[in-house]
Structure 1
Amino acid sequence: MTVSACSSDSQKKGAGVSAGHLCDASFDSHATAAVKKISGVTSFEELAGKNKYGEPNRFSLTRAHKHLGTSLSPRTQCTVYKVSDESGYPFLQIDFKKLTYTPKREVQEKQSGLQKDVFYPIGTRAWTGKEYATSLYFPCKAVEGKGAKPFVHVAMYSATNQMTSTSTSKERMTILNSVSREFAKELGCLDEARLPARLPAPSK
């Protein structure tokens, strides 16, 4: 997925907030530290105003739950910008959706080729790939039905010029794991999601 620039600066909030307030306060202390490290800044903002559906652009776990479907939707995205950045490109964009298939690591490994993806033993499948792509799948029986399998896919992307040179796979997955845990709580399936409070070492 390619992250595109925001089309209007008026959609962005003027005053910045700390990392702990982003994405409906879904970043825990470990994720907050990771955000600061890979961004190189301490002040951020989300989209302001309302979307075409008349709902706030600012992300909400409750709204993401309400609108969770099997395709990507602007109503299930958390888009974060650096206050100091004038490019219009987001620092992070996190998407949530249901799955129409069962995720399998061996399929991902075959597709990866020489991309050197890094896998983590959390959820059903979790990995970081090239160009700052980060994905996590977790089981959740509550979302099954109407063509959807009992799994949720949470994916995070960033424009290539938004990460610091010290950004690592661990920080990116730490952020995504934290957000996924909070979303699993919202869905009522944290106990089955297999998302630990602390990120374990990558799989061998």
Structure 2
Amino acid sequence: MTPHAPRSVASGGWRRLVVGVASSLSLLATGCSSGGEAPEELTERGTPAPRLEHPVPAVEVCDGALSDQGAAALESLSGETQFTDMEGEVPPEMTGFTEELRPTGANAVTFCTIRTPSDMAFPFAVVRFLWIPTSEEPSAPIPDATAIYAAGSEAWIVGDSGFIGFPCSAGEVEEYDQLVGYLTIRRSGGITEPDLVMEVLNAMASAVAEELGCAEEAELPSGAPQRIEG
């Protein structure tokens, strides 16, 4: 039997649901990793940052999900040229991720966690995706958005996260035929370069849509999304 969308989600408020999920997971990522404390070598003044165990350039992070333009945006956003996306001994793998994502419905699934050599204690960026029902037609302004973009169905920046929603009929849960990708950045004082955040996220979302087979219906821009508000 094909699962149906839970009434609590299908009845409305999916934007706030997505933002709420992103906020709670952002706190977990930044406040609970490594016991919530940086390793000793990061807290002592004058101690060099630890070397990345598996360094990769921006174009290779997240199983090569970033375009050249998206990779350049990640470098500009972070101020780094080398990254690691290893969680334990397992690197992110696009095909495995999309197979895990297809049947999940409204449960957020982490695609990739990016760390930089200047701070290995906590992730610099985390990319996640979840499905929402397209029966929810937007009728009100996006809550608390600081910037809105022309990409997919909707794309916006709120707090320390960027979001892109786009049509994708590749999911396995009935009525869940729109995918939302969101990128959370750990940055003191919040996001000051929203266009770069959206450029990185759009590249990630485009790669996921391509792997799922819904790139044509997603209609994500091939380059940097154009800001239309904020």
Which category describes the TM-score, using the shorter chain as reference length? Answer: 0.7 to 0.9
Show CA shifts across 1:150-175 (max 9, x none).
Answer: 11110110212498x8x411111110
> Contact 2:113–2:126 (CA<8 Å) still a contact in 1?
yes
Correspondence for 2:150: 121
Q: Which runs of 5 or more structure 2 residues have no equivalent in the other structure?
A: 1-22, 40-50
> Contact 1:133–1:158 (CA<8 Å) still a contact in 2?
yes
- Provide runs of 4+ in structure 1 moved above 3 Å: 100-107
> 1:186/1:139 Cα in 2 relative to 1: closer, same or farther (>3 Å)?
same
Residue from 95, 113, 132 that aligns with 1:99: 132
Report matched runs for 1:145-156 at 5 Å. 145-156=172-183
Matched, 1:84 2:118: yes
Q: Measure, in 1, the Cα distance between the counterparts of 2:133 and 2:145.
A: 26
Show CA shifts across 1:100-148 (max 9, x none).
Answer: 45454444x25x2xx3421111111111122x210011101121x4344
The alignment's C-alpha RMSD in Å is: 2.5
TM-score computed with the length of structure 1 as normaliser: 0.80
Q: Measure, in 2, the Cα distance between the counterparts of 1:103 and 1:177.
A: 22
> Contact 1:99–1:153 (CA<8 Å) still a contact in 2?
yes
Correspondence for 1:42: 81
> 1:129/1:60 Cα in 2 relative to 1: closer, same or farther (>3 Å)?
same
> Contact 1:119–1:203 (CA<8 Å) still a contact in 2?
yes
TM-score computed with the length of structure 2 as normaliser: 0.72
> Contact 2:157–2:194 (CA<8 Å) still a contact in 1?
yes
Matched, 1:139 2:173: no
Matched, 1:72 2:101: no
> Contact 1:104–1:125 (CA<8 Å) still a contact in 2?
no
Q: Measure, in 2, the Cα distance between the counterparts of 1:16 and 1:105.
A: 41
The one-letter code sitting in structure 2 at the alignment partner of 1:133 is S
> 1:80/1:102 Cα in 2 relative to 1: closer, same or farther (>3 Å)?
farther
> Contact 1:39–1:162 (CA<8 Å) still a contact in 2?
no
> 1:93/1:103 Cα in 2 relative to 1: closer, same or farther (>3 Å)?
farther
Larger radius of gyration: 2
